[in-house]
Amino acid sequence: MEDCCRDSLLIHLPSLLLLLQLPAGGSAGECLPSPSLLLGGDITLPCRVSPAMDVENMELRWFRSKFSEAVFIYQNQREQREEQLAQYRGRTSLVKDFLTQGDAAVLIHNVQAFDNGLYTCFFRMGIFYEEANVELKVAGVGSAPQVHITGPEEDGVRVVCIASGWFPKPQVQWRALSGEKFLTFSETQAQDSEGLFTIETTLVVRDSSSGNVTCSVLNPILGQEKAMTIFIPEPFFPQSSPWKLAFMVILTVLMLLLLGAVFYIMREHTAKLQETQEWKKLHREKEEDQWIKEEALKARGKAGQDWRKEKFQALSVSLDPESAHSSLAISDDKTSVTFKDSPKDTGDETYSVLGHEDITSGCCYWEVEIRNAEEKSEWALGVCRRGVERKGWYQECPGKGFWVVGVYDKKVFSLPDNSELLVPVPHRVGVFLDLKEGDVSFYNMTDGSHIFSFPLAPSSETLFPYFRLREGDVSLTICSGDICDQEGTVGGRKRQGREAEKKKHFMHHLT
């Protein structure tokens, strides 16, 4: 740039030292000599043009190591946030009091350790520009060191010192009671999410006459130091056989206790695993027996007739509009439910309606057809007790008085544990309620396959058919007797070919 341009727009930025004291526990400490600042306080980065002039119409940019890493941008007489780094959004502001006098300082709020480093102030007006640098040094004093003995080490005693919450990386030193420094020790360091350092250093003390040892941690910028002293009794050193014997005995006992605990946990885990496997085996055998019985009964029944209808009485179900959620629309014949408008699933509402018929005894069934099911459609159906809580969001589980299955994300689940059932998504579901045996079962009425069964505890409470929607344009329609018989007959013809091949196998089990 030409000399005249530099003379007219020259920036003077003094070096800046920011001092933070970080006391143990992360709370703010006392201010250090000026300039000083508590953790989470504010700091002003000065920037001035010389000679003084009005900079309201200039472009001002504060950035870190790269021009694109913007801390603050002032352009067209307002703050620009499009290029601003995420960690500075909401934490920076322009000091506008002296813009007409050439002073364009930027205030950084809630200063953190990662704010440490070099900043560049950049001015531009037309084709002329200038920049200058300022270094921000952040310093913090963390917790006092914690020193403890961890055990014998070769021919000495191992002592560990830990200090956290320091910035920048502190200097660690071990000293004996005489003031002599230990030169040989190990050290590890780590930084937390806020950039503060945790230091762990290990010293092996071999001289039993040392008595006290001191671990000191020093902030290299502030010159502040925190220290802790620990006394090492002479019997702790390896040459003292009584201490060594006691330590070995204690260590052996601890190891035996640990091994015993591990053995107990493994035995309990093995027992639970065996119990789970036995339960799964019994459950699988029960399902296989039920499937064989179902297929055998279907083979013996009339062609196209659902075998379950021989035992269960068809229940004529109608929807109760007074029990419906305000977002649901009930058809005039009270057999179909859908949404009035497509709702947005916020997760805090459950849209349900009950059947008008109460069920207190016997065996009955009804069929429900699922229409307009889309990929994101969610629905559930089953039975519930009289007087269950159905306001807002509620849990559909047997403990709360609900026995339901449903579809979500094109998968079938049993509620409430959301266990995925590896069965096809049904388009017509039969709900078979047996209050004599204490069972409610769900079947795919298109192919006659079993979906899921719940055991029902003996109870004198009244049950009601239950229907629930959550998302999509899906509708649930209760089939009338004629419609279901017709659709069942069609399904029966489609299955006759497959069932003929299985018939011999099923009849064999009956005999």
Can you tell me the distance from the alpha carbon of 29 to that of 31, in angstroms, rounded to the nearest whole number? 7
- Give the model's confidence band at 465: pLDDT under 50 very low, under 70 low, under 90 confident, else very high: very high
Annotation: CATH topology of 146-236? Immunoglobulin-like (2.60.40)
The residue with greater pLDDT, 146 or 305, is 146
**Closest to 405 (Cα-Cα) out of 321, 467, 471, 319:** 467
Best CA proximity match to 395, nearest among 408, 407, 380: 380
Cβ proximity of 141 and 166 under 8 Å: yes
Structure-model confidence comparison of residues 33 and 128, the more confident one: 128
Strands (E) in 192-294, as ranges, are 197-205, 212-218, 225-231
Three-state secondary structure call for residue 22: coil
pLDDT, tens digit (0-9, with 9 covering 90-100), for 127-158: 888 888 888 888 888 899 999 988 887 778 88
Q: Which CATH class for the 3-139 domain? A: mainly beta
Which pair of tokens denotes residue 398?
Answer: 């047997």
- Both ends of the chain: CA-CA distance in Å? 104
Which tens digits make up the pLDDT trace of 209-252?
A: 777 899 999 988 888 899 999 888 877 776 545 666 677 788 88
Per-residue pLDDT band for 5 (boundaries 50, 70, 90) equals very low
What pLDDT score does 32 carry? 28
Tokens 């945790």 correspond to 198
Same CATH topology for 3-139 and 146-236: the answer is yes
Helix (H, G, I), strand (E, B) or coil at 16: strand
Note the Cα 267 to chain centre separation in Å: 32
Determine the pLDDT at residue 17.
41
| Matching residue, tokens 């196209």 | 304
- Which residue type sits at 507? M
Q: Indicate the range of 154-163, 329-338, 414-423 predicted with least confidence.
A: 414-423
Residue with tokens 């329609």: 477
For 304-510, CATH gives: 2.60.120.920
Specify the pLDDT at position 15.
Answer: 38
Residue 10 has pLDDT above 70, yes or no: no
Q: Residue 206 corresponds to which tokens in the numbers above?
A: 């071999």
What's the mean pLDDT in 96-110?
Answer: 85
pLDDT at 413: 86
pLDDT digits (tens, 9 = 90+) for 383-432: 999 989 888 888 888 888 999 999 988 888 887 666 778 888 899 999 99
Does the pLDDT of residue 299 top 60, yes or no? Answer: no
Mean pLDDT on 17-29: 36
C-alpha of 483 from chain center: 47
Phi, psi angle pair for 217, to nearest 5°: -120, 125
Give residue 242's pLDDT: 61
Band of the pLDDT at 7, cuts 50, 70, 90?
Answer: very low
Q: Give the tokens for residue 102.
A: 């050439």
- Mean of the pLDDT values across residues 39-63? 84
Of the two residues 33 and 467, the one the predictor is more confident about is 467
For 245, the token pair is: 């014997």
Secondary structure element (H or E) that encloses residue 507, with its range: helix 481-510
Residue 38 pLDDT grade (very low, low, confident, very high; cuts 50, 70, 90):
low
pLDDT band at 369 (very low <50, low <70, confident <90, very high): very high
Q: Which of 75-79, 217-221, 357-361, 372-376 is predicted with the least confidence, judged by mean pLDDT?
A: 372-376
- Residue type at position 97: D
Nearest to 378 by CA among 408, 405, 352, 349: 408
| pLDDT reported for residue 470 | 86
Kindly state the DSSP code that residue 115 receives in the 8-state scheme.
G
Q: Is residue 247 helix, strand or coil?
A: helix
Side-chain-facing half-sphere of 43: CA atoms under 13 Å: 24
**How much is the pLDDT for 244?**
62
CA 91, CA 253: separation in Å to the nearest integer? 56
For 83-98, the pLDDT digits (tens) are: 899 999 989 988 888 8
List, for residues 422-457, the tens digit of each pLDDT value: 888 899 999 999 988 889 999 999 888 899 999 987
**From 24-33, 85-94, 100-109, the region with the lowest mean pLDDT:** 24-33
Q: In terms of Cα–Cα distance, which of 223, 225, 194 is closest to 40?
A: 194
The 3-state DSSP class for residue 73 equals strand
pLDDT, averaged across the chain:
79
Give the position of tokens 């200097």.
Answer: 171
Percentage of the chain lying above the pLDDT 90 cut: 29
Dihedral sign, Cα of residue 175, residue 181, residue 185, residue 190: positive
Residue type, 139: A
Q: What angle do CA 81, 84, 87 make, to 5 degrees?
A: 120
Q: Where are the domains of the chain?
A: 3-139, 146-236, 240-300, 304-510
